[in-house]
Structure 1
Amino acid sequence: MTLLDCAMLVPFRHYALCLLISSLFLGGCASVPVASTSGVTASEPAEVTGDAEPVRDESFAPETLSRLPLSNDLLLRFLVADIALQRGRTALSAQTWYDLANRTHDPRVARRATEVAVGAGQLGLAQETAQQWITAAPNSVGARQILLTLLIRADRIEEARPHIEALLAAKPEDAAAFFMQMHLLWDKSSDRKAAWMLTDELTQKYPQLPEARFARAVALANQERFNDAIAELDRALAARPNWEVVIQYKAQLLSNQSPAGSIEFLQKAIKDNPMSFSLRNSLARELVAAQRLPEANQVYQEVLNLQASNLDALIGTGLIALQQRDLDTAYRNLSAAITQNPRNVDNLRYYLGQIAEERYRFDEALKWYSQVGGEFALPAKKRLPRVFARLGRMEEARKAITALPADTEQARIEHIQMEAQLWREARDYKKGVDILSKGITTYPQSADLIYDRALMADMQGNYALAESDLRKYVQLLPANAQGMNALGYTLLTRTAKLAEAEKWLEQAIALEPDSPVILDSLGWLRYKQGKLPEAQELLKRAHAKLSEPDVAAHLAEVLWQLGDKVEAKKVVDAALLIDAKNETLTETISRLGIR
């Protein structure tokens, strides 16, 4: 048996740490992600998933291989290292391989020692074994790749420089691809100044390479030197006009300084590249960020007119429609997006579950929420108790609450809210109020519990408690339009305090002028004040955005009183299809004799 036999790889997982740099120098740079400038850093490290295979580098010169005979002692150590790894004792295996690398000075053993140390999370040890690997085989690209990764992870950026230079010298044809993805080497904890200094030194040797200008721009942006970064991007565009990646990144940087400037820049770029879907979608996203939703929707629609299956445009139009309460369009486009690309769409499934809830299609909502994973899994699970309750499956609703984490104060408050919601769905408002009251005793400053108890107390008929709680709520959250609206509506419908109700509702609508809930409340106030035309206009706006039965009942009553009984019946008929058991709707129909 030789040393090579003992150092052969056995299956080993979790080697993703070293794949990024391997891909940069081994042809893995076909796609170039654009760096984001939001938050604390202008770029994020690439996420590598799956069962990674180690970097392979078999080009060891014969003279670098160990001539050490395989003694019984060495054989025993190899066996200990291998068996320890197979039994999950990774720390022992890593230390044993490190000792073997020291004893043999063989690059194959040093390579294996590095792989095991990385997999065991012994990154300091891995740095030492990678250096042994390089010492034994100075021309090994794989060794430098791994050591470079480890040095960068340890924020030893200056020590990484000679290894990057050696890799670039070994494969100069990969320089452009490397510079386009160089920003992926750094994470949020990296020393940004050191990263810039290294980028500056490396790119000085490539003054005519536009990709080097891009790398400089990202490093400068990471230091929030946006004007300098934009100047570098302009130089890159001068060398390569209409370069979409750079155009998009420049738009991102411009957006930090002037959203309007970014939009204007993208509009000009689209004139020069009229068939670029990516630039049009970037423009639409900037318009959304600027809250210019109609314009954004128009740009997305232009993309769909050119390419009906464009995923970004389908999602963009779907989310805009959802925000504008156009549930039919939102459902159609988001569903189409999922059909086209069923992977990594947990957020879309979550939104579709919300749409189904708002349409009172609780079986459908349950289906969507049950498919949600990733970071949206917990929000989806929090929606399940209400959905089960609306389906009459109370025991499953309780189990869904119990399954949720309760390890923080906010999580425990949410548990109380959800439990009370079950009694609300069961129309046992007294029990709901009791549960919320106990919660408020424990968490007296919880605005959420106070607000929920106010609504439940109103349903119970305890209007004094509802008013008192809502007054506490607006004291706790004085600039909250939801609280102002709830207090104003309660005063409007449960007391004779119309003047005070008007004050609160006017403040609420000033904060959120397009809120359908506030428009409904204000429209109902105008009705109570005898201002029927104004009430009709407000309620029509509210109903166009939110076709819930309560809003429909208000609009139908105003239309009925104005003599438009045909339209009132249409509104009522549509609302009955949504929820035929809605108390406000059925009471209005009965009282007015509609239908």
Structure 2
Amino acid sequence: MINRLMFAPLFSLLLLGAQSFAAVQDDTGDDLEPTNYSVNTFYALLVAEMAGQRQLYDVALGNYLLESHRTQDAGVTARATQIAQFIGADQAALDAATLWVKLDPKNPLAQQALSSELVKAARFSESALHLQKALDLDPLLNVNFISLLGVDMSEGSRELWLESLTPLVSRYKANQALLFNIASLHQQQQNYDDALNICSELLKQHPEFYPAWSLKSRLLATQEKFDDAIKTINAALKHFKDDKSFLLLKARLLIKNKEIEKASDTFYKLHTANPHDAQILLPLALTQLEQKKYDDAKLSLQKLLNLHQMQSEAHYYLARIEQYNGNDKAALNHYLAMKGGREYLAAQGAIINIYLTQKDSDKALAHVRQQRTIDNENQQAYFLMEVDILNRTGQYDASLTVLNAALNAYQDSTDLRYSRAMVAEKLGNMKQLEKDLEHIISLEPDNATALNALGYTLADRSTRLDEAQALIEKALTIAPKDPAILDSLGWVYFRLGKLKDALDLLQQAFAMFPDAEVAAHLGEVLWAMGDKLEAKDVWRKALEKTPDSQILKDTLLRLEVDL
């Protein structure tokens, strides 16, 4: 919203009479030359000021533009330019600024205003010329408009603007704002090296210039040069001892650089200086958790609760600590106390897992169904949670009913449709499984998970092996290091009688992901190749890890193997 106060000073002066209006100071602080206005001019300007007070900015601007041309007065024209810029009337601002420069060519603010408006008109060379005139008149002029205008420019326009400004860098080295704004413009253009060079040059001449230290460290962080960024911040801290912003940035960079202990020490130093700042307490607690300093983390998180800040985040991580300590009841209370936050959905999953661990699937189902009625933004997620509960308790028919209802509301949800395909597989409904997976692939041709699932099912449950191989090989081109896809392709090769190829793929998959299903497949290939001792060894070790694995039990039963 436009600041109405911009009209107040001039309005009060206008009330004193026509002569007094001309005594208004311009933005340079110099008194404008006294001018006797006609009654009509005075009345028009008075109406304009009153209109500005009432936020009728079009009326105010119209009157000032008219009187600018009628009176040819620099003060009136400056005011017209100011109003036009405030309300974003670019063409009017350009016209007024052009007249202002004509009437008062030695005013650096007039030259700057015209430079700014010419940029908006994409007349970059002319803009740079007037900016140079402004800086010649006032070499230390504040030119923050440069980077502000760059934010909304296209990449091509910004590059042209930068080219026009480049000669000014060496001409006005003493102007910190100029160099900093051009560096910021390079940052917007992702010319990080150019921006860094200007920052470094700026800091050589003006080592106390805070914004340049900040920009340089952020530029280095953007390029993931974390060591250099930290060194830059340490250098800045010699000039700005214990500066909060620099210490915060340093701590975050130390985390990115995996120097958790140093980051934690920095956050603790910040916390000591700012004991009531939640934005410091939470990351301090997280670094303490990362170091497994659970008592320290618990103390920091409790401080957050005592401060009544970031309550949900504090409850979430306190719950995690309680779970780690085996205190599910206390963890549950913390999870249930959450009211929102980024971790809210993860907390609901944790609540369900606690109920299921306690063998109370009814509570788990009641909780997720209640959440679906109160958390509208995450309804799909709650449907999937309910399906997971039903699947984990073997209630596949009920799970299918929930998924059918969910898909009536969210027909193109690939997550829901994939879940229905997996439930259909459990129920032996291959027709439904194939239909759902093919639907997903039609929507997302590069969905490696769906391609692999359909390919594996065809390889395991049908004789359509060539089709299965094509689907899985396509999935592998999308996700070449996915052990599940390697396992599927190995199983296809086994079904095709390509035992050596199958063995190679299954060994790769097992090395990356030694789960029961891969172990079952690898063992069967080894068994078929006559390496029965190694096959038994693979199966035995897998059963030790997952003694309830149904696929391992089925494989051993089918092959009549006694371990």
Q: When the two structures are superposed, what TM-score results if normalisation uses the length of structure 1?
A: 0.50
Q: Are the structure 2 counterparts of residues 403 and 208 from structure 1 closer, same or farther at C-alpha, using a change threshold of 3 Å? A: closer
Residue 298 of structure 2 is matched in structure 1 by 267
Residue 366 of structure 1 is matched in structure 2 by 407
Structure 1 position 100 matched with structure 2 position 132: no
Q: Is the 8 A contact 2:418 2:437 kept in 1?
A: no
1:303 is matched by which residue type in structure 2?
H
Matches of residues 192-591 of structure 1 in structure 2 within 5 Å?
Answer: 192-207=226-241, 210=244, 212-241=246-275, 243-255=277-289, 259-260=291-292, 262-270=293-301, 275=306, 277=311, 278-285=313-320, 287=321, 295=326, 298=329, 300-305=331-336, 307=337, 309-311=339-341, 314-320=344-350, 326=356, 342=376, 348=381, 351-352=384-385, 355=388, 358=391, 359-360=399-400, 361-364=402-405, 366=407, 370=411, 392=432, 398-406=438-446, 417=452, 419-420=454-455, 429-431=462-464, 433-437=465-469, 451-452=487-488, 474-479=506-511, 480-481=514-515, 482-486=517-521, 503-510=537-544, 513=545, 517=549, 521=552
Shift of 1:101: 0.6
1:320 is matched by which residue type in structure 2?
A
Shift of 1:189: 1.3
Q: Is the 8 A contact 1:420 1:436 kept in 2?
A: yes
Q: CA RMSD, aligned part only?
A: 6.4
Residue 64 of structure 1 is matched in structure 2 by 108
Q: Are the structure 2 counterparts of residues 242 and 140 from structure 1 closer, same or farther at C-alpha, using a change threshold of 3 Å? A: closer
1:120 is matched by which residue type in structure 2?
S
2:127 is matched by which residue type in structure 1?
A
Q: Are the structure 2 counterparts of residues 222 and 451 from structure 1 closer, same or farther at C-alpha, using a change threshold of 3 Å? A: closer
Q: Are the structure 2 counterparts of residues 393 and 315 from structure 1 closer, same or farther at C-alpha, using a change threshold of 3 Å? A: closer
Shift of 1:62: 9.6
Residue 198 of structure 2 is matched in structure 1 by 159
Shift of 1:521: 4.1
Q: Is the 8 A contact 2:316 2:347 kept in 1?
A: no
Q: Are the structure 2 counterparts of residues 68 and 486 from structure 1 closer, same or farther at C-alpha, using a change threshold of 3 Å? A: closer
Structure 1 portions without partners, runs of 5+: 12-60, 83-92, 532-595
What is the aligned length? 424
Q: Are the structure 2 counterparts of residues 424 and 328 from structure 1 closer, same or farther at C-alpha, using a change threshold of 3 Å? A: farther
SS at match of 2:124: helix
Q: Are the structure 2 counterparts of residues 321 and 439 from structure 1 closer, same or farther at C-alpha, using a change threshold of 3 Å? A: same
- Structure exhibiting the larger radius of gyration computed from Cα positions: 2
CA distance in 2, matches of 1:347, 1:296: 30
Shift of 1:231: 3.2
Residue 184 of structure 2 is matched in structure 1 by 148
Residue deviations 1:165-221, cap 9 Å, x none? 99xx99x9x9xxx99x99877654153344334433444454365555434433444
Q: Are the structure 2 counterparts of residues 263 and 115 from structure 1 closer, same or farther at C-alpha, using a change threshold of 3 Å? A: same
Residue deviations 1:382-428, cap 9 Å, x none? 7687789878496675454233234xxxx6x7675455468689x7x
What percent identity do the matched residue pairs reach? 10
Q: Is the 8 A contact 1:315 1:333 kept in 2?
A: no
Matches of residues 74-153 of structure 1 in structure 2 within 5 Å?
Answer: 96-105=122-131, 111=145, 115=149, 119-122=153-156, 123-127=158-162, 147-148=183-184, 150-151=186-187, 153=190
Q: Are the structure 2 counterparts of residues 385 and 165 from structure 1 closer, same or farther at C-alpha, using a change threshold of 3 Å? A: farther
Shift of 1:66: 4.0
Structure 2 portions without partners, runs of 5+: 1-64, 66-76, 91-104, 135-141, 392-398
Q: Is the 8 A contact 1:199 1:219 kept in 2?
A: no
1:363 is matched by which residue type in structure 2?
N
Q: Is the 8 A contact 2:315 2:335 kept in 1?
A: no
Q: Are the structure 2 counterparts of residues 139 and 282 from structure 1 closer, same or farther at C-alpha, using a change threshold of 3 Å? A: farther
Q: Is the 8 A contact 2:332 2:351 kept in 1?
A: no
Q: Are the structure 2 counterparts of residues 293 and 117 from structure 1 closer, same or farther at C-alpha, using a change threshold of 3 Å? A: closer
Residue 15 of structure 1 is matched in structure 2 by none
CA distance in 1, matches of 2:237, 2:352: 46
CA distance in 2, matches of 1:68, 1:236: 41
Q: Is the 8 A contact 1:381 1:400 kept in 2?
A: yes
Q: Are the structure 2 counterparts of residues 524 and 251 from structure 1 closer, same or farther at C-alpha, using a change threshold of 3 Å? A: same
Residue 561 of structure 1 is matched in structure 2 by none
Q: Are the structure 2 counterparts of residues 299 and 162 from structure 1 closer, same or farther at C-alpha, using a change threshold of 3 Å? A: farther
CA distance in 2, matches of 1:164, 1:370: 58
Q: Is the 8 A contact 2:244 2:270 kept in 1?
A: yes
CA distance in 2, matches of 1:268, 1:186: 34
Q: Is the 8 A contact 1:196 1:216 kept in 2?
A: yes
Q: Are the structure 2 counterparts of residues 211 and 334 from structure 1 closer, same or farther at C-alpha, using a change threshold of 3 Å? A: farther
**Bigger shift: 157-166 or 267-276?**
157-166
Shift of 1:266: 0.9
